[in-house]
Amino acid sequence: MVVRIADHLEGCDTNVQGAVVRDMIMSSFSQNDAISLDFSDVHNVTSSFVNTAFIEVLEHFGMPMIKSHLKITGANRQVAKLIGDRMRIEAAKLSIAA
Interface residues with another protein (CB under 8 A)?
A: 10-11, 13-15, 18, 40, 43-48, 51-52, 55-56, 63, 66-67, 71-80, 82-84, 86-90
Kindly state the smallest distance separating residue 59's Cβ from another protein, in Å: 11
Q: Please count the other Cβ atoms lying within 10 Å of the Cβ belonging to residue 43.
A: 11
- Considering beta carbons, is residue 31 or 36 the nearer one to another protein? 36
Q: How far apart are CA 50 and CA 52, in angstroms?
A: 5
Kindly state the smallest distance separating residue 71's Cβ from another protein, in Å: 7
Q: Please count the other Cβ atoms lying within 10 Å of the Cβ belonging to residue 17.
A: 21
